[in-house]
Structure 1
Amino acid sequence: MNKKYQVFISSTYEDLKEERDQAIKAVLEMGHIPVGMEMFSAGDEEQWQIIARQIEATDYYVVIVGHRYGSETDEGISYTEKEYDYAKECGVPTLGFVIDNKAPWPHDKTDNDSVKKGKLDVFKAKVKSKPIHFWSNKEDLHGKVSISLIKTMNANPRVGWTRSDEAIGPEVTKEISRLSAENAHLRRDIEKLKKAKNSQENKVKEVARIMFGNKRSLRVRESTATPWEDSHEYINTLFSIFRYIAPNLINESSNSSIAIDIAFNLHGNKYSQETPIPTNMISGLITDFVALEVIEPSKKKHTVSDKEKYWTLTILGKELIKKSKRIELESNLNSGEDEQETKDDNSKKDLVK
């Protein structure tokens, strides 16, 4: 596999143009990708973000140091040193090339300012803290960059870049095939879930439509001494009655508990604690809700002495009350307290549309 590495070349600019060209040439001759940031102006913070991203994507970092410290950031550090520090921070292998102090060098390419000299000495010491190469001219630098990079690439291979047609071998092809089959299987499962969800939503709408279209007359008495013919009569839709009993049916509820839930919602707390609603009316309601598949017998265990019948919501019943409650809550965000009839009208519109 023919892998190409990205090599970031850093140095001061004006004084080391020819030396940088030689380093770039060495990288190109090896068949790799040189990256130089001399086309970007110093002092541009957005510019630094571009440079930082380039360093993060770099396989190897080359720093060339001459006799100038270079342009500085607002923090008082040269961009060359800032790049070097960031490369080390990112874990990019760094190769340092420092000019030999004995090598002849033009005076106009040397820092004369004592502060700049001091910073340059500190930076050189930082670079020399790792194995480096000293160079005396651009030709010497060219050869040393080539040899050093070859050794480093062999000793510490990096991710690099590879042509896609070379990167895809038999194992990759097999894995792609497996993933494609798995992807197709998942798409089929998602499609099934979508169809099931649509079917469930349509069923919820149909059941809600039936509930809103059917009303039941119920009687609530305030005490066991009250004859049923003198009890209070209420006429409600099956949907309203279902809303009264659904909260406790999320867990489970008995026939007598269902009767109490309905009596409380219809008549407040002034109802008979014993049979507030005729048992035949409760049985009829339960039959209606079983026929609509919104409740079913509870599967929880009870003592042998407990003769009550217990019921719980089906999946369809849970979906219906969940959607109804969601509509109510969203409606309350935009208005004050409504009358129950108005709330039911709103629920009907949203549930069956």
Structure 2
Amino acid sequence: MNKKLQVFVSSTYTDLVEERQVAVEAILNAGHIPAGMELFKAGDESQKETIKRWIDESDVYMLILGGRYGAIDEETGKSYTHWEYDYAGKVGKPRFAIVIKEDALEAKIQQSGTKVMEKENPQKYQEFRKEVLSKISRFFSDEKDIKITILESLKEQENNKELKGWVSGENSGDLEKVLQENLSLIKENIKLKDRIEQTEQKIKSVKEFDGYSYEDIKDYLIEKKIPIPSIQTLGELAGEECSLFQIFITTKDWFSIGIENDYTMNEGARFLFYTVAPNLLAFNLLEKQKVAGEVYQRIQLSNSGQKFIAMYEMEKHKKTKSIMKK
């Protein structure tokens, strides 16, 4: 072999870290050059342009398709992996894909959980998978399958006279050293990206409320309007049409103590219990409790509700502090 092919490796990231590293090592072991955007975060337009350039400069495009479709590019409505696949085809790059077998995906889900499967856009994932399988592609179940597929596919591409290759082995005595350094850098990049992903997941988990973010719930509560009857115990809210968010924040102390649907409840408590609370229960901001020895129930702030209130108070504090500095 007298030419080294540059292979652009494309995949979703969090579900295929190990498979991607196996692919990179297999490409290097075959004597070729892997390329990929290990540290790039989806969604940055300048990064998309850089990815285009890398694909343009590569000889071959390789896709590893697991169980996820990936983050959506707002411009195209497709995932970034799907966008890369289409772009490589558009510019005429030889493409081959390795696709996880369904039983292997099931085993992976059992081992790693549902984070390795597509939950937000399952229809788009299935359509993309169907498209990929209609082109040059092979299935994989384990690392051995990935290695064999890469070796065989690249062996075929070595005979493609239209591919010029990245560099000739005859002209570079230090090529093996360069390849090994490249592998080391890629491994370090993968580890760094993994740490970044883990940190982002930890930050995200702090903000999540059963799958919803603080901002998502707040936006919904602000948009949800509820007419309030003229009840004196509701104070300034009485007779107004207010957002659910305003009602929740204003009456948070009521819910903190707890509202019981016993015979002594006043009209304000009845309104909060039967009209307002069901909307907040839907997001687990409140919880129902059975009062021991009684037939009535108590509704009060849940742990999620307390966290939501705390995040709101901190947000308000930061805004006030910012205004004071100005």
TM-score range, shorter chain: 0.3 to 0.5
Give the number of the structure with larger relative contact order, counting CA–CA contacts within 8 Å between residues 6 or more apart. Answer: 2
TM-score, length of structure 1 as denominator length: 0.44
